């Protein structure tokens, strides 16, 4: 579904990505791991059109999408759930969901999608009139993921879904992502909790210093001692 070919990019004159290359299969979960400053979140911004790409190519279903805007990426079926809490706390759950479809031209279709999404996430229907701030951290993350589904995406980029959550809530969010994968959605995820994320993923990708160091089945990366070494301050040869 997604392919990056020798992508270089950064902010202004500062280069963060120094030749990132990888492929992401359809209907799979791929977790991106690496030490702080490796360029993990920057890769997502490059894909979604939020970053200046100096060179290289990004392909979606074989089509060149390099340097397209976020609005164009949404039209291509790509959605982005950034780090942290991205709900509007004083708005209701339902109104937060409506914000996910604000760019759509057919608002009747958006309302239909909201009903479908609430069927997928029964908790959201149960609490649809509550303010988002009244939800738990795990419930807020489910709301963010549900909002990302409103435009019927084929690829979701989700950055640090476990941040600030208890282990039980992390598993709840991970199970949500597994269910979406089983329904045909492709998921590319950045996650610092490498062990837990790789355990529920199909593939893994290791970034270091803005470059792809390893890319393999998640179970193989999980068993590779070099991955543990990387997080203890070592480097991958």
Considering only residues 23 and 121, tell me which one the structure prediction assigns the higher pLDDT: 23
Dihedral sign (CA 212, 216, 219, 220): negative
Split at pLDDT 50, 70, 90, the class of 131 is very high
- Of the segments 14-18, 81-85, 114-118, which one has the largest average pLDDT value? 14-18
Name residue, tokens 């991970």: 174
Mean pLDDT of all residues in the chain? 87
Split at pLDDT 50, 70, 90, the class of 5 is very high
The pLDDT value given to residue 233: 54
The pLDDT value given to residue 76: 92
Burial class (CB in 10 A: 0-12, 13-18, 19+), 197: buried
Split at pLDDT 50, 70, 90, the class of 235 is low
pTM for the model: 0.85
Which tokens in the block code for residue 196? 């837990």
- The answer to whether 82 touches 157, Cβ cutoff 8 Å, is no
Instruction: State the average pLDDT over residues 167-176.
Output: 81
Instruction: State the average pLDDT over residues 130-155.
Output: 86
Range with the lowest mean pLDDT among 13-17, 31-35, 52-56, 149-153? 149-153
Work out whether strand 52-60 and strand 29-33 pair parallel, antiparallel, or are unpaired.
unpaired
Q: Is the pLDDT of residue 136 over 60?
A: yes
The pLDDT value given to residue 82: 85
Q: Is the pLDDT of residue 108 over 70?
A: yes
Q: Is the pLDDT of residue 165 over 80?
A: no
Which tokens in the block code for residue 179? 């269910």
Three-class SS string for 9-65?
Answer: EEECCEEEEEEEEEEECCCCEEEEECCCCCCHHHHHHHHHCCCEEEEEEEEECCEEC
Query: Any idea where the domains of the chain sit in the sequence?
Result: 2-85+154-232
- pLDDT tens figures, 68-97: 999 899 889 999 988 867 788 899 999 988
**Domain 2-85+154-232 CATH superfamily:** P-loop containing nucleotide triphosphate hydrolases (3.40.50.300)
Q: Is the pLDDT of residue 179 over 80?
A: yes
Provide CB contacts within 8 A for 213, sequence distance 6+. 34, 206, 207, 230, 236
- pLDDT tens figures, 188-216: 999 888 888 999 999 999 998 899 999 99
The pLDDT value given to residue 103: 64
- How far is Cα 18 from Cα 229, in angstroms, rounded to an integer? 22
The pLDDT value given to residue 56: 95
Q: Is the pLDDT of residue 3 over 60?
A: yes
Q: Is the pLDDT of residue 231 over 70?
A: no
């Amino acid at each position: 579904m997604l392919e990056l070919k020798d992508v270089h990019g950064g902010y202004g004159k500062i280069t963060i990505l120094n030749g990132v290359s990888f492929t992401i299969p359809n209907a799979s979960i791929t977790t991106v791991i690496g030490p702080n400053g490796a360029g993990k979140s920057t890769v997502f911004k490059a894909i979604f059109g939020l970053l200046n790409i100096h060179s290289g190519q990004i392909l979606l279903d074989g089509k060149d999408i390099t340097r397209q805007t976020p609005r164009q990426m949404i039209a291509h079926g790509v959605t982005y759930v950034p780090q942290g809490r991205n709900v509007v706390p004083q708005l209701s759950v339902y109104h937060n969901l409506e914000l996910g479809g604000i760019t759509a031209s057919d608002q009747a279709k958006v309302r239909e999608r909201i009903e479908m999404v609430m069927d997928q996430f029964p908790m959201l229907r149960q609490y649809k009139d509550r303010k988002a701030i009244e939800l738990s951290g795990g419930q807020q993350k489910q709301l963010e993921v549900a909002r990302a589904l409103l435009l019927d995406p084929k690829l979701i980029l989700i950055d640090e879904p476990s941040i600030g959550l208890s282990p039980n809530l992390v598993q709840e969010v991970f199970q949500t992502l597994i269910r979406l994968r089983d329904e045909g959605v492709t998921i590319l995820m950045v996650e610092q909790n490498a062990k837990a994320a790789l355990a529920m993923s199909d593939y893994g990708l290791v970034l270091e210093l803005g470059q792809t160091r390893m890319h393999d089945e998640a179970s193989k990366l999980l068993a590779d001692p070099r991955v543990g070494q990387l997080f203890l301050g070592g480097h991958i040869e």
